[in-house]
A and B are shown apart, each in its own frame.
Chain A
Amino acid sequence: MNDEPALTYVYAAAVPAPRLDAVLRGLHGVEDAPVAFLAPHDAAPGAPAFLTSRVPADRWSEEALRARFEDLDWLEGTARAHHRVIEALTAHTTVLPLRMATLYRDDDRALAALREQRPALAERLALLAHHTEYGVKAYVTPDPGTPGPGADDAAGTAPRSPGKAYLQARRAQHHAREDRYRQAGVAAERIAAVAARYAAHVVRHPVQTGPLSDGGAGENVLNDACLVADDQADAFRVAVREVGRDLPGVRVEVTGPWAPYSFATLPAPPAPTGTADPPGPRP
């Protein structure tokens, strides 16, 4: 794309270091383009730079993006490429991810934005140093023991009529479900509280219920992101594992380590955040 008009795609901010050169070598981002640090020539040592690559302007125009953002295959490829760049660097240094598809007309405009934002970026990077994001998810697992309609013969009491038996079974099923969901809400709160004890900050993501979520895993009732100090990470994982073990019918999953995507803008007061919905299944 040497001669074609190109835009500057910015993945993240990080402090360049000689040891990162080897990581960047051979690292390709969106459009399979090579990734490099972008920093002013007069940058002070230790100042954050942008991780960037070039993308063809015609495929990344506002008009093109509006259409492509609706294309799940394109979205997945782009998300994974963006993540690949950030993850490669995260293994070696503190990385502050930028929102996906942050695009500037050229390097000069990206540099102007970098100059303006440098103090804020440096401050955020310092806060995130030696911390890692983990996801804490809880699922209510499908209950094979809940009797369904037609499974009432095993109940012992002989039904008077098929219609009444059906209704009885439905009622029992409904109550079992309600109990289960009440318990799931309590369980989600317990898991969230244990995780929060080890986390510097917590962000609550909406529970995953859409077609992309893994329905076979059960119903997602908790989807928190926890920013955990690296020296707390082992204790955090053990504690979350332990609390999950004590909760029948609930499966707990820890995802990560992640780059601090969910903490790029830190909540003002220390965790846990109080404004989000309580965990638990939706009514």
Chain B
Amino acid sequence: MTLPERDSPLPGRQVALVDLLDRLLAGGVVITGDLVLSIADIDLVRISLRALITSVDGSGAPLPRDGRP
């Protein structure tokens, strides 16, 4: 049972990379438009990245575009 004692981010406290990537690779607003790298391309790349964090889903289905489970 571990809970941070404070409710505000501590300066210099480093969040776990695995928790950060959970959020940064699947979360955040996806804005379409005149992007350099389309989100569809990032999604392709993400599949191998996600394997670092979680077991690859047995169905082999790619992750949904909007990051919702």
Question: Could you give, for residues 246-267 of chain A, a 1 whenever the CB lies within 8 Å of some chain B CB and a 0 otherwise?
Answer: 0000011111011001111101
- Is A104 in contact with B34, judged by CB distance below 8 angstroms? yes
In the complex, are the beta carbons of B24 and A82 less than 8 A apart?
yes
Pick the contact of B15: A211, A237, A255 (CB < 8 A). A255
Interface of A is mostly: mixed
> B19 contacts A264, CB within 8 Å?
no
CA distance A244 to B37 in the complex (A): 43
A-B contact count (CB 8 A): 175
Q: Tell me, yes or no, whether A129 is within 8 Å of chain B by CB.
A: no
B28 close to A79 (CB less than 8 A): no
For B27, what are the chain A residues with a Cβ–Cβ distance below 8 Å? 97, 99, 261-264
Instruction: Tell me the bound Cα distance from A208 to B16 in angstroms.
Output: 12
Contact assessment for B24 and A61 in the assembled complex, using a CB-CB cutoff below 8 Å: no
Interface size on B, residues (CB 8 A): 48
**B55 touching A282, Cβ below 8 Å:** yes
Residues on A with C-beta less than 8 A from B1 are 241, 244-245, 251-253
B61 at the binding interface (Cβ < 8 Å): no
**Is B8 within 8 A of A91, CB to CB?**
yes
Judge whether A203 and B68 touch: CB under 8 Å. yes
Residues of A close to B30: CB separation below 8 A: 98-99, 102, 265
What residue of chain B has the Cβ atom nearest to residue A10's Cβ? B31
CB distance from A140 to the nearest CB of B (A): 13
Q: A99-B28, A212-B52, A265-B67 are in contact. Are A69 and B42 (CB under 8 A)?
A: yes
Q: Which of B29, B36, B49 contacts A69 (CB 8 A)?
A: B49
The answer on a CB contact under 8 Å between B24 and A100 is yes
B60 / chain A contacts, CB cutoff of 8 Å: none
**Interchain nearest-CB distance for B40 vs A (Å):** 11
At the interface, yes or no: A221 with Cβ under 8 Å from chain B? Answer: no
Report the separation of the CA atoms of residues A178 and B52 in the bound assembly, to the nearest whole angstrom.
Answer: 26
The one of B16, B39, B45, B53 in contact with A255, judged by C-beta atoms closer than 8 angstroms, is B16
Q: How would residues 30 to 69 of chain B score, 1 for a CB under 8 Å from any chain A CB and 0 otherwise?
A: 1111111101011001101101111101000000001111
CB distance from B56 to the nearest CB of A (A): 9
Contact indicator B36/A60 (Cβ below 8 Å): yes
